Chain A
Amino acid sequence: DAKTTQPPSMDCAEGRAANLPCNHSTISGNEYVYWYRQIHSQGPQYIIHGLKNNETNEMASLIITEDRKSSTLILPHATLRDTAVYYCIVRVYPLSGGYQKVTFGTGTKLQVIP
């Protein structure tokens, strides 16, 4: 797996957009970028994923640079419930139907401030 680096912590005012960066400079051409978040004492929750195009769903937007060496997760209107640790992960999608184990980095602790 390509390694990822994220800032250890960030603050964001409630109602504002939270932009969480992730560096994955050694990403391979067939590796996807995934984002998960973990709210205190819960299991991680899937947010979004992408390969090379920008993606948007009901939770967030994912912006991947053209060279794919970095990405940004955007929470458009952060709420207090978005306070969590956010993990950026890269992994290959096993087209053969197999699996690939995932290891987590340290993530970014996002604190949404009232």
Chain B
Amino acid sequence: GAVVSQHPSRVICKSGTSVKIECRSLDFQATTMFWYRQFPKQSLMLMATSNEGSKATYEQGVEKDKFLINHASLTLSTLTVTSAHPEDSSFYICSASRGLYGYTFGSGTRLTVV
């Protein structure tokens, strides 16, 4: 079945630094990918929609200059958390559309900013 690979699975970074998270569709092309954030005991919150070859579309309240999204190819989207702060610590998840079969999700990235 379709697989979405997300790396790293876990990262700890110092406050003020930037962190890049990769999301790859391994056996299918994904013109559109989605990025979610999830805080403990809460549901997934959609952050942005990533479109191959064009600018990402951000949800209301999500800072586009802080969460940089690049979708340079049909199989790779990246999310860069710039100048990370402790409040950015969260579980980040990407997903790719599979048409009628809905979405395939990555395994998530646990970001801890210290």
Interface range on chain B (Cβ under 8 Å from partner)? 20 to 34
What A residues does B110 contact at CB under 8 A?
A: 41
CB atoms of A99 and B97 under 8 A apart: yes
Range for the number of chain A residues in contact with chain B? 20 to 34
Asked if A46 and B46 sit within 8 Å, CB to CB, the answer is no
Q: In this complex, what residue of B is CB-closest to A35?
A: B102
Chain B residues near A34: list those with CB within 8 A: 102
Known: A41-B110, A42-B107, A43-B6. A93 touches B43 (CB 8 A): no
- If A106-B43, A107-B43 touch, does A43 touch B93 (CB 8 Å cutoff)? yes
Docked-complex contact A41 and B103, CB < 8 angstroms: no
Residue numbers in B under 8 Å from A105 (CB-CB): 43
Give residues of chain A (42-71) contacting chain B, Cβ–Cβ below 8 Å. 42-46, 49
Contacts of B93 in A (CB 8 A): 43-44
Name the A residues within 8 Å of B101 (CB-CB).
46, 49
Cβ of B67 < 8 Å from any Cβ of A? no
A102 touches B108 (CB 8 A): no
Which residues in A have their C-beta under 8 angstroms from that of B36? 104
B91 to chain A, nearest CB (A): 7
- A99 and B104 alpha carbons, distance in the complex (Å): 13
12 residue pairs A–B, Cβ–Cβ below 8 Å: A32-B100, A36-B105, A41-B108, A42-B107, A43-B6, A43-B105, A87-B43, A91-B102, A101-B34, A102-B102, A104-B46, A106-B43
Contacts A38-B44, A49-B100 known; 16 new A-B pairs at CB < 8 A: A32-B100, A42-B107, A43-B105, A43-B106, A44-B44, A44-B95, A44-B105, A49-B102, A93-B99, A94-B99, A97-B99, A101-B34, A101-B46, A102-B102, A104-B43, A105-B43
